[in-house]
Structure 1
């Protein structure tokens, strides 16, 4: 495709996240927001002169090049498959789908038609995590020992179809694999429900990664304290990323010397220098849209491929299974069981 071509984009779903997508799409260079589809379109106030349509079929008649799917998770498969069948590229909000089998079908549908498709794992575009990943790849931490994340805040009334694992913990599952370059081998989890809904409100996860690193995730939406932190500890110290403020700090291990021979044989660390990095802070959603636009145009662009979204769905389902059965779930065994269920 020509770099100078203006792409026609469609948006499906105008809820809380959909409105953020609409805002970015409306001002995205090289893109025209051609229309928005939402079942409640007749009850929504006009949006910047963009056509509001009740049905996806009406949106497809506008000749769109790609669509952003910001509908409830349970509808991602149906909407995504209709887009793929129509030959339309898609950026699908996370999680990719509500089940592993549904995620598989989406991957197959877009891949078989050679269409550009991505998952909206927005943390991959957070400036602090982008810098963190670059520094880990450059070896600035040495061997990674542990990734610990905390993600908590007030209850979001807008979420009705999934619990905290699929809505929030999928952020941490994806970013952990992404920054470390390691898949999960096993997960052990516990959940509790306190809001009166059918889904879990809190989860604590311990995960084993491929190269012996351990992951810990504490996630809930019942806290008045809003927190988004990622701490990666390794050979040379630890990185602390605050994804609310997009700040990244490095705490180095001190080089304390001891003349006590009996202690010198034991490995330990002490507090060393602290470095706060100056990072260019661009809105993650803006960066996500720019990269997906470039990918649709055939330009080099780092997007989140659907198979990565599938991987995250598989881990999240394993987390829920672990919590339900009270066991450690090994991802290889879990994948085999899910495959058997699908057939």
Structure 2
């Protein structure tokens, strides 16, 4: 198998590094880099011992089987559809596209050309998050009632805004953990410091019996960089620090000592977790790329499909509508996301 990495910005350069490692490890037979800037293309390719091209339309001419696309988000649709139309399987960095219509068009082209399509929602390959998902699936947390995420830092806002840069992770992570879509979405977008775009997001995803609360901000100069997830169950609470890939903390849920209907006389605090789970795992980005390569080789869907990527785009659009209206948006029964009709393993 020959792999291409298209785009060599921050994430693309990391994918190029991994592509070089895959060649060395025998995961793929060969790999190339595609970058419009010839100087950067030559530099990144040389650093990882790869060849390069400067036009994505020529990638298929080099017998490439699969491509990882890490170009700027506005270019995803034209770049990916060109590759798919040439019969090149593709994984696209999140977001899949900037609109639901564009995302659906990409999914359709993948179907029409019988190509595998994946989306780079890297947190689905975070070892600690995978461990929490298994705890949820096995019922070891009891009945899950609440999810909470905090992604806080103090840094300049990116032009696209915190909703599309940060909350895009949570709308996918919560679907991944609960294995279903939310019923409603409520969102507030605030410009605490940034002048040009929102730098702070408050997002509530209602799954009926589970509430997911997301707090994202680039304007909180407290406790440094924070990336945390808490999953509250009736039997235990799981906590993940995303800055530590391999640790899950479990906290006991204190039993109620008060009769029903009476006021609690004190608060029980857990100063330390009841259990710390150390999990094995490779670099999440490398695990993601390996899953895509293996999906192409095996003719199966990758962990994050084009439909998953489209749902993330759709939920962000719902969140924007909610913020504009300052109202809850109902997403039930919405047919905007089209399912894939086929993958090679089903043909």
TM-score by length of 1: 0.87
2:39 is aligned, of 31, 38, 42, to: 42
Q: Which residue of 1 aligns with 2:131?
A: 131
Quick one: structure 1 residues 188 and 42, their matched pair in 2 at CA, closer, same or farther if it must change by over 3 Å?
same
In 2: Cα distance, 1:305 partner to 1:283 partner = 20
Instruction: Kindly indicate whether the alpha-carbon contact (under 8 Å) linking 1:34 and 1:62 is maintained by their aligned counterparts in 2.
Output: no
- The structure-2 alpha-carbon separation of the partners of 1:277 and 1:200, relative to structure 1 and needing over 3 Å to count, comes to same
Contact 1:149-1:230 within 8 A present in 2 as well: yes
**Pairwise mapping of residues 256-335 of structure 1 onto structure 2 (< 5 A)?**
257=257, 263-264=259-260, 274-298=274-298, 303-332=303-332
Is 1:242 paired with 2:236? no
Say if 2:194 is the partner of 1:195.
Answer: yes
Cα distance in 1, alignment partners of residues 73 and 188 from structure 2: 22
Corresponding residue of 2:225: 226
Instruction: Give SS of 1:297's match.
Output: helix
Give the Cα separation in 1 of the matches to 2:166 and 2:307: 19
Instruction: Find the counterpart in structure 2 of residue 215 from structure 1.
Output: 212
Unaligned runs of 5+ in 1: 1-6
* 1:22 correspondence with 2:16: yes
For residues 300 and 267 of structure 1, what CA distance do their matches in structure 2 show?
Answer: 54
CA positional deviation for 1:213: 0.7
2:140 matched residue in structure 1: 140
**Counterpart selection for 1:205 from 189, 194, 203:** 203
CA contact (8 A) 2:19 2:31 kept: no
Moved over 4 A (4+): 264-273, 299-302, 333-336
Q: 2:6 maps to what in 1?
A: 12
Partner deviation per Cα, 1:133-175 (whole Å, 9 max, x = no partner): 0010000112111111111234368x54x22111211111101
Q: Is the 8 A contact 1:253 1:270 kept in 2?
A: no
Q: CA deviation at 1:116?
A: 1.0
C-alpha separation in 1, matches of 2:3 and 2:53: 14
Offset of residue 98 of structure 1: 0.5
Quote the offset at 1:177 in angstroms.
0.9
Structure-2 residue corresponding to 1:55: 55
Q: CA deviation at 1:229?
A: 0.8
Separation of aligned partners in 2, 1:267 and 1:175: 35
User: Does the aligned pair in 1 maintain the 2:116–2:299 contact within 8 Å?
Assistant: no
Decide whether aligned partners of structure 1 residues 50 and 222 sit closer, same or farther in structure 2, where only a CA change above 3 A counts.
farther
Per-residue displacement from partner, 1:44-89 (whole Å, max 9, x unpaired)? 5243342332211232211100000001111111111101100100
Q: Which ranges of structure 2 fall in alignment gaps of 5 or more residues?
A: 339-347
Do the aligned residues in 1 keep the contact of 2:148 with 2:212 (CA within 8 Å)?
Answer: yes
**Mean alpha-carbon deviation: is it higher for 119-128 or for 239-248?**
239-248
Q: CA deviation at 1:329?
A: 1.1
Say whether the 8 Å CA contact 1:188–1:206 is kept in structure 2. Answer: yes
Rounded Cα–Cα distance in structure 2 between residues aligned with 1:235 and 1:32: 49
d(CA) in 2 for partners of 1:14 and 1:143?
Answer: 43
- Aligned equivalents of 2:102 and 2:300: distance in 1? 28
> What count of residue pairs does the alignment treat as equivalent?
324
Single out whichever of 81-90 and 297-306 deviates more from structure 2: 297-306
Q: CA RMSD in A?
A: 2.5
Q: 1:271 to 1:155 in 2, by over 3 A?
A: closer
Corresponding residue of 2:102: 102
Alpha carbons of 1:142 and 1:302: their partners in 2 closer, same or farther (altered >3 Å)? Answer: farther
SS of alignment partner, residue 95 of structure 2: coil
TM-score (norm 2): 0.86
